A and B are shown apart, each in its own frame.
Chain A
Amino acid sequence: MYEWLFYIFAGLMLVSGFMVVANPFTRSPVASAMFLVVAIVSMAGLFVMLNAFFLAAVQVIVYAGAVVVMFLFVIMLLNPVERSRRRGWILGVVSALLAPAALVLLLLKAFYALDGGDIAETPVLEGGARELGELLFSAYVLPFEVVSVLLLAAIVGVVVLNKRETE
């Protein structure tokens, strides 16, 4: 049961991740955003299988709820027109495949020699809101406060970048 769920979620995530970057049917960014939702929700399923319940909820709320909606707003606001492909793009795609393929092969070679242990033998830790909150407000208070400053910086940056000149 666990294995089947893992394969379903992982396969769905990888297929929709591929559809985000290289959809063979359409090049519309809206389709990419929709497949991004599918990839994110299946990753939330993987988080649940890893006992990270709070993070699965945060993943769905923040990514599928906020980030993708922001992408869709910008797509519909700008309505970018896709240019036709230029000459020689096949050569470009083939050479662009090299870097990710080399990186993935290197990582897989490193993971192949790994002995991670069985999921049935490691102790189960519930990653609920209470456990994460206790850790967040005891050992990780300083990073938590720094993140609040980062969010403030992001807000100020967005406002400054899109301020209309009034003269």
Chain B
Amino acid sequence: MIGLEQYLIVSAVMFGLGLLGLVIRRNVLVMLMSLELMLNAANLALVSFSRFNGDLDGQVFVFFTITVAAAEVAVGLALVIAFFRKRHSAGVDELKSMRL
């Protein structure tokens, strides 16, 4: 029997995987992908809450989350490109100052 718990457990494990990727990888692009995994895990939790509560408010919230995630990826990739132009690397080890 599949209930709310199963969906929430999958969502929690997915969030943990994203956090792990954010911590262990040093490539900024892969770190951004891990951020996407974490946002997706939160989306799954919201949709399953919406399904088991019997209203659509959670799905509208996920709609907004997807929009914000797309904007965040656009700005993040622009930052990566600007950073790469200055330092010719996409590793976070070279990212030592606030100024690009």
Report A's interface with B, CB cutoff 8 A.
2-3, 6, 10, 13-14, 17-18, 20-22, 27, 29, 32-33, 36, 39-40, 43, 46-47, 50-52, 54-55, 58-59, 62-63, 66-67, 70-71, 74-75, 77-78, 80, 82-83, 92-93, 96-97, 99-101, 103-104, 107-108, 111-112, 114, 116-119, 122-123, 125, 127, 131-132, 135-136, 139-140, 143, 147, 150-151, 153-155, 157-158, 161-162
Contact = CB atoms under 8 A, between A and B. Distances in A.
A33 to B, nearest CB: 7
B17 A58 contact: no
A6 B2 contact: yes
A29 B91 CA distance: 12
Contact of A114 (B5, B47, B66): B5
Given A66-B70, A74-B77, A78-B80, A122 B64 contact: no
Nearest to A67: B73
A131 B47 contact: no
A131 B81 CA distance: 40
Given A80-B90, A111-B12, A119-B52, A18 B17 contact: yes
A104 B17 CA distance: 9
Contacts, number: 223
Contact of A147 (B27, B53, B64): B64
A141 to B, nearest CB: 11
27 contacts: A10-B6, A17-B17, A20-B34, A20-B37, A21-B20, A27-B27, A36-B33, A39-B40, A43-B43, A43-B44, A50-B7, A52-B50, A63-B36, A80-B91, A82-B27, A83-B26, A96-B20, A97-B20, A104-B13, A108-B9, A114-B4, A116-B3, A119-B51, A122-B54, A132-B59, A135-B56, A143-B64
Size band of the interface chain B makes with A: 35 or more
A103 B68 CA distance: 24
Contact of B18 (A17, A123, A154, A158): A17
B3 A14 contact: no
Contacts of B95: none
Contacts of A2: 2
Nearest to A74: B77
Chain B CB within 10 Å — which of A17, A143, A161 has the most? A17
